[in-house]
Amino acid sequence: MIKIIHRKKVTIKSKTYKKNSSFGIKQALSALIISRKKDGRPLGQLLGDAVRNSVNTLFVVGGFIVLFSVIIQFLINPVTNIFFKAFIGGLFEVTTGCRLISMLPLPMDIKIFAASLIIGWSGLSIQAQSISFLSGTGVNIGLFLIGKAFHGILAAIISIPLTHLLYPDAVNTYFHKNSIYIPYWQNIFNYSLVLLILFLIILFSIIIMTAIVISRIRKKTVEV
């Protein structure tokens, strides 16, 4: 008898959990719409606050970019080893690191590997920007940085089979003087264009589905 009652309780709890979890996104969107109505600010004020906050954010991001650009130049100028320069640039800033890697006398697949590592890591400049926005949110900054490091390592590892699969000509590139020759670059461009189109189609589908869900939630909220 006790076992039967326990099984019924477990079944009811599991059904309730499945029901709540299945409607998690809808409940979140509904709460978003309700909080928007409770805010009470008119549309003009919302637009003004949005623009004001965006400009302040741009100033913060620009300040970090200038600061770390000065730090990178201060650290790179005395260095003569081009590989160490690329390492310092990639450690601090994505664009500088990728630019320095592109000038190294290495095969293209190795450059893609290194660039993927740097892009996944994002650089200390972007990390500082993220930390400034995450401060006060309760996010563990140390865990966040460790996660970004693993992100870079995972991106670099995944880039190896993808490079051989999608861009096999990149493996056959060679370094000649100060330029890199990539045979059949048109095929590489076509592959990249196809991937971009597929990504845009998926993104557009997600936006449409989200708009449909929001419209349905608004109708239910109005009815209630």
The structural domain count of the chain equals 3
Of the chain, the percentage scoring pLDDT greater than 90 comes to 18
Same domain, yes or no: 54 and 157: yes
Same domain, yes or no: 111 and 177: yes
171 to each of 96, 162, 168, 191, how far by Cα in Å? 24, 12, 6, 16
Same domain, yes or no: 23 and 54: no
Same domain, yes or no: 62 and 99: yes
Same domain, yes or no: 29 and 139: no
Same domain, yes or no: 152 and 131: yes
The average confidence (pLDDT) of the chain is 78
Same domain, yes or no: 197 and 168: no
Same domain, yes or no: 64 and 13: no
Task: Report pLDDT digits (tens) over 2-38.
Answer: 444 444 444 444 444 444 444 567 777 777 777 767 7
Task: Report pLDDT digits (tens) over 156-165.
Answer: 999 988 888 8
Range of the domain at 130: 41-183
Of 168 and 129, the structure prediction assigns the larger pLDDT to: 129
Same domain, yes or no: 157 and 202: no
Task: Report pLDDT digits (tens) over 102-147.
Answer: 888 888 888 999 999 999 999 999 999 898 888 888 888 889 999 9
- Mean pLDDT (whole number) for 157-186: 67
Same domain, yes or no: 54 and 150: yes
Same domain, yes or no: 91 and 194: no
Same domain, yes or no: 90 and 75: yes
